[in-house]
Amino acid sequence: MPQEPISPNTRLYLSLGLLIGLIVGLAVAILIEVLDTRIRGEANVRQITDAPILGGIAFDKLAPKRPLIVQSEPNSPRAEAFRSLRTNLQFLDVEGGPRSFVVTSSVPSEGKSTTSANLAIVMAQSGARVLLIDGDLRSPSVADLFGIEGGVGLTDVLIGRARLSDVTQAWGLRNLSLLPAGAMPPNPSELLGSQAMVNLLRHVEKEYDVVLIDGPPLLPVTDSALLSKQVRGALLIVAAGRTHRGQVHGSVEALQNVGAHVAGVVLTMLPTRGPDAYGYGRYGYGAYGYGYGYGRTAQAGFSQIISPAESPGRRQSSAVPPSGPARTTAQARQESV
């Protein structure tokens, strides 16, 4: 007589069950990896473009409440990330020429306007004469971000209804000027692609050290592609975990089709925890014991060049926003005489 039941073979069934479970689990993991086309980090971007990755900005759920982080919390990790972005952007200028850039993205809500605003402030803090232009005529945001009057601006200058010096507003440091969008025209693309816009850009490139244009997203409209052709290049903002690889590829292609140059890529909304976490230790915080606890460094990391002015103990002071209404550039110049 057999000492154990011939059927069912429990050990065999258990082994087969474990093997099948393992195979199914691996198949599901591979399927998720194939179907999930979202940008996760630097490696995904490098598969699409060879443009330099200028920096990474970590996700902050409070960003909508404190968009100008370099102003409200100048010593925070995110503020430091914008200063690192400024430093890397400065090193693109080794060959000289105008430093004028369109800051754009593939789709809305990737952080392009917040990046434009904070980058403009830290550029001004370094001593550069900076002009930030709101070129997103369909959905302007510069006026709201900085708390200035935006009813009159770029569109009025382009149609000859106002002078540039009358609608450009000084903010904070005297060397930071803002040009709001103005009233929304019925033909934004035609206006931004006009000879009047080209003439305006050539003029401000002579008046300012840095010109940043907050442009609309690339995929819905052609505005930013047209603008990027007229400046040094485009800074492409890519939101990690939100933007898909096909969208980034389409944006790069849209710029290339008009002969525009992708000056660099900035990753935003990077996670601070998990396998794709973005850490600040690699960029100076760990070495100096700041201990913010933002998780391990991202899988590939971002190249960072720290200028002497940004070394510990010599950090640039933050701009002080105007206590009263923003001044036009003409008024600011009169005050400085």
The string of pLDDT tens digits covering residues 192-232 is: 999 999 999 999 999 999 999 999 999 999 999 999 999 99
pLDDT for residue 259: 94
How many angstroms separate the CA atoms of 197 and 211, rounded? Answer: 13
Residue 34 has pLDDT above 80, yes or no: no
Question: In this model, does residue 292 exceed pLDDT 70?
Answer: no
pLDDT at 10: 74
Question: Where do the structural domains in the chain lie, given as residue ranges?
Answer: 11-39, 41-336
**Residue 244 DSSP class:** B
41-336, superfamily in CATH? P-loop containing nucleotide triphosphate hydrolases (3.40.50.300)
| Helix/strand/coil for 132 | strand
Each residue's pLDDT tens digit, 65-111: 999 999 999 999 999 999 999 999 988 765 666 789 999 999 999 99
In angstroms, the CA 223 to CA 103 distance is 12
Rounded CA separation 75/315 (Å): 9
pLDDT of 327 > 90? The answer is no
For residue 71, give both structure tokens.
Answer: 């102003």
Assess whether pLDDT exceeds 70 at residue 48.
Answer: yes
pLDDT confidence tier of residue 11, bands split at 50, 70 and 90: confident
Give all strands of the β-sheet with 130-134 in edge-to-edge order. Answer: 53-58, 262-270, 233-239, 99-105, 210-214, 130-134, 176-179, 169-170, 327-328
Alpha-carbon separation of residue 121 from 142, 211, 316 (angstroms): 12, 12, 11
